[in-house]
Amino acid sequence: MVSRVEKYKKKRRIRKSVLIVAALFLVLTFGTGLNKALADLDVQTLLTNWFNEKQNESVKDIEGAVASETDRLMRGLGEDLEQEMTKAQQDLVNFTKTQKESRIAALQSYAQDLKSSLKIDNSEQEAAILANIDTIVAQAKAQMDGQASELKLLPVPVIPPGEASSPIQTTPAPGNEGKENLPQPTPPVVTPEKDGTGEAAISEKTEQPKAEVKAIEAELVIVDVYSITDWFAMPSVQNVTVEEVKIPNGVFSINSTFSDILMNPKAADAMRSILRGIEKHPHFAEIQYKTADEMSRICPSLFNETILYMLNKSLVQIQI
């Protein structure tokens, strides 16, 4: 029979083996789960790190590609913009040249049209000048023939400024329609009387024409306008301050002739209010085609700076 000691030892061995097996089972069981958990944790971390790394690389790659493409496109845009600017500048130069040539051609055409329409008729002036010349020649012939005849010169018409391109219609002098303007003197026949002193009678007949010639010569004396100082009655010039007067186009001024001023009622009244009685001066005909500015050099004491200022200030208010 197996003794109790051996049974006890056998049980202890069996119990020990069971404990060892249980321990191994526990170790194997818990060790495999931990390794699996650790393995799962390492894979997730690895994937996360890989994804983050790839993501950063992708972002950097995209940013680099975008920056590179942006630089390329900006360079291309700069070149295109420069080309467009050059083209636009050339187009502007061509446009300016074309427009300038077009405007110049239009201006030249307009000037040519004006030139072709310009026509000045001097027939009236020429007729008056010829009449004056013929009158002078007739007077000289009359003087040579020993006769006296009155020298009457016709006023030469003056073309007002601004009407030079308009044809002038010739108007015959009143009372002379269809007649010659030139006097045709008929020299009288001198017949000497025969008496006891025939020579004395002839002498008496020949002395009379000489006296008439002297009278004609007295009438033909040229008036010295520089010696006349009473062309008009001096107006009041007190409290008059001389200032600069601007003369625009198309108005009367001290550069207008007296005859032109008198042809305009408003201008004539303005002149008469300052140059009182000038047109009634016996020698006004000698200066009717002169200007106040010219008279300031002929008679500076009368046509002084104050008078010219007052006259100019009044005349520039009146349109021609």
Task: Compare 70 and 178 and report the one with higher pLDDT.
Answer: 70
Task: Place 33 in a pLDDT band, splitting at 50, 70 and 90.
Answer: low
> Under a CB-based contact definition with an 8 Å cutoff, are residues 280 and 268 in contact?
no
Q: What is the mean pLDDT of the chain?
A: 76
CA 83/CA 74 separation, integer angstroms: 14
> Under a CB-based contact definition with an 8 Å cutoff, are residues 259 and 158 in contact?
yes
Rounded mean pLDDT, 239-253: 91
The one-letter code for the residue type at 66 is V
What is the per-residue pLDDT for 36?
A: 60
Task: Place 125 in a pLDDT band, splitting at 50, 70 and 90.
Answer: confident
Is the model's pLDDT at 2 over the cut of 90? no
Radius of gyration, CA atoms only, the chain: 63
Is the model's pLDDT at 25 over the cut of 60? yes
What is the per-residue pLDDT for 257?
A: 94
User: What are phi and psi for residue 21, nearest 5 degrees?
Assistant: -65, -40
Is the model's pLDDT at 216 over the cut of 60? no
- Residue 136 in tokens: 């002078």
